[in-house]
């Protein structure tokens, strides 16, 4: 497999903006934009979270970004989950899949570093995601994402005054090489 890795530690340049997914509203930031031009491979987005306070929802995801001139400014396709910091409920808020899991240790601790990860196997337009929050791993239902070339790594919180710190993002695209038959 060929891999492309990106790391960005500049969290001070995150520009927060309001976003709505179903009935939930978040203050989100696009931390990295990329073109996903692999038909088959693996996509990995990792980031660390530190809460400033509890009793909020945290969001992270890989969402489609509108092409320039496409006439749409929303990021409404992709993989995006919210985490309730009090109950540990993990929901798919972008695709309406509902609850996909519960965290073992709740409520989440303030100022403790927590590992968040989305790993998605990509087979043409089908994504098979796995979500990791700390030590907890959850399988996300497979998704058919029609438009998935331009995508953004997105993080956020329901606390509109920056209720969390997101640090040390990593993004990897591993392209699967076609096998050569003899």
**CA separation for the pair 164, 131 (Å, rounded):** 19
Say if 177 falls within a structural domain.
no
CATH classification at residue 133: 2.60.120.920
Q: Is 65 helix (H, G, I), strand (E, B) or coil?
A: coil
Q: Is 182 helix (H, G, I), strand (E, B) or coil?
A: coil
Say if 31 falls within a structural domain.
yes
Say if 179 falls within a structural domain.
no
**CA separation for the pair 50, 111 (Å, rounded):** 5
Say if 62 falls within a structural domain.
yes
pTM of the shown model: 0.83
Distances 91 to 6, 147, 165, 170, 179 between C-alpha atoms, Å: 27, 22, 20, 22, 37
Say if 178 falls within a structural domain.
no
Confidence of residue 148 (pLDDT cuts 50, 70, 90): low
What percent of the chain is predicted at pLDDT more than 70?
80
The domain total for the chain is 1
Give the β-pairing of 164-175 and 40-51. Answer: antiparallel
| Close Cβ partners of 67 (under 8 Å, ≥ 6 residues apart) | 150
Say if 175 falls within a structural domain.
no
Residue with the larger pLDDT of the pair 78 and 148 = 78
Please state whether 100 falls in left (phi above 0), alpha (psi between -120 and 50) or beta.
alpha
Domain extent for 24: 18-159
Residue with the larger pLDDT of the pair 162 and 99 = 99
Say if 127 falls within a structural domain.
yes
Give the β-pairing of 57-64 and 126-133. Answer: unpaired
State residue 60's pLDDT score.
95
pLDDT in tens, 34-58: 888 888 999 999 999 999 888 899 9
């Amino acid at each position: 497999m060929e891999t492309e890795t990106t790391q960005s530690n500049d969290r001070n340049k995150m520009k927060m903006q309001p976003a709505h997914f179903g009935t939930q509203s978040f203050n989100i930031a696009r931390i990295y934009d990329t073109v996903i031009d692999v038909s088959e491979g693996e996509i990995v987005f990792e980031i660390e979270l530190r809460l400033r306070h509890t009793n909020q929802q945290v969001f992270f995801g890989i969402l489609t970004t509108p092409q320039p001139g496409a006439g749409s400014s929303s990021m409404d396709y992709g993989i995006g989950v919210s985490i309730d910091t009090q109950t540990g409920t993990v929901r798919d808020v972008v695709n309406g899949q509902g609850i996909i899991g519960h965290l073992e240790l709740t409520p989440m601790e303030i100022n403790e570093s927590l590992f968040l990860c989305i790993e998605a196997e990509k087979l043409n337009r089908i994504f098979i995601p796995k979500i990791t929050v700390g030590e907890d791993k959850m399988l996300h239902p497979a998704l058919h994402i029609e438009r998935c070339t331009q995508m953004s790594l997105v993080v956020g919180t329901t606390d509109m005054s920056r209720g969390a710190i997101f640090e040390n993002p990593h993004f990897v695209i591993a392209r699967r090489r076609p096998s050569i038959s003899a």
